[in-house]
Amino acid sequence: MEKTKILIADDEPINLEFFEVTLGKLGFDVYKAEDGYTTLEMVKEIVPDLIILDNIMPNLSGWKVTSLLKESEEYKEYRDIPIIMLSAMDKVRDKVEGFELGIEDYITEPFNFSEVYARIRAVLKNRVLSKQVVAREKRLATVESLNESLRYFTAHLREPMAELYEMSNSVNQEDDGAVKALIEKIKKESEEALAALDGLEEEIGELEKTPDIDFHGGALKDLEEKFKKRYKALKEENINKEASG
């Protein structure tokens, strides 16, 4: 199982060493950055699950790093990475500024590690829950997309198939013109039906590639079973008609 990656950004070597040792012993993969620019580079390189960020650092402050990660187009794919801000500033306005920038938590120094660890676990738990919600929404959207395609397909297939059925029952096999017209109609409708099936198959293929989607589970599996039962019933009905005829 892949370990949770935590990036510690602080210009104090003693703090970096402390977090590296303590969080490492707790089973986390710990990465270190000593200034703002290095922090941004490492975010792209390792894509951490959590950033613990000192707000006072050389080159770029923690405020600026947070602003770039949460608002810049260059870092838009990293916006959901949670940030815990470490600060020696305990004023309300500083905390408010941090939360307005998009941090998940704000811890003032000196800190108690038991409290820091509890907050780390809380933030990571919320991140997992958020991912689960997003994954569920993707699954629902996938099912709805497939349902829409199936509704469209069945709605546009029923009428021409019913017309072909009527034509095949009433055609005079001795009438070459009528037989030819039926064959042409079958060819035309078959081509359109196959094109629609190709499109549906392509959509299913794309949905199967969608990350975080269990395409063969849940509602989609139920949908597949319903279609199998309906197909089996129609097949048995046709067999019975042929036997009685």
Domain range list for the chain? 5-111, 135-244
- Domain range 5-111, CATH architecture: 3-Layer(aba) Sandwich (3.40)
Whether the CB-CB separation of 93 and 67 falls below 8 Å is answered with no
Fill in the DSSP letter of residue 143: H
Whose tokens are 């990293």? That residue is: 78
CA–CA distance, 82 with 51 (Å, rounded to integer): 6
Residues in a beta bridge with 108 = 87
CA–CA distance, 241 with 165 (Å, rounded to integer): 14
Residues in a beta bridge with 32 = 8
Q: What pLDDT, on a 0 to 100 scale, did the predictor assign at position 236? A: 65
Q: What pLDDT, on a 0 to 100 scale, did the predictor assign at position 1? A: 63
Residues in a beta bridge with 53 = 9, 85
For residue 189, give both structure tokens. Answer: 């409708």
Residues in a beta bridge with 50 = 6
Residues in a beta bridge with 24 = none
Say if residue 58 is preceded by a cis peptide, omega within 30 of 0: no
Our CA dihedral for 232, 238, 242, 245, rounded to 10 degrees, sits at 140
Is the pTM value of this prediction over 0.85? no
- Taking only the tens of pLDDT, the chain with its 245 residues reads 678 899 999 988 888 998 899 989 888 999 999 999 999 999 999 999 999 999 888 888 888 999 999 999 999 999 889 999 988 776 777 778 778 888 888 888 777 888 888 888 888 888 776 666 666 666 666 667 767 777 776 767 777 777 887 888 888 888 888 888 888 888 887 877 777 777 767 766 766 666 555 555 554 555 555 555 654 555 566 556 556 65
For residue 170, give both structure tokens. Answer: 């009433």
Q: Among 77, 80, 205, which residue's Cα sits nearest to residue 142?
A: 205
Measured CA to CA in angstroms, residue 181 lies from 160, 189, 190 at distances of: 14, 12, 14
SS3 category, 93: helix
- For residue 212, is it left (φ>0), alpha (ψ between -120 and 50) or beta? left
* Number of residues assigned to the chain: 245
Whose tokens are 């922090």? That residue is: 39
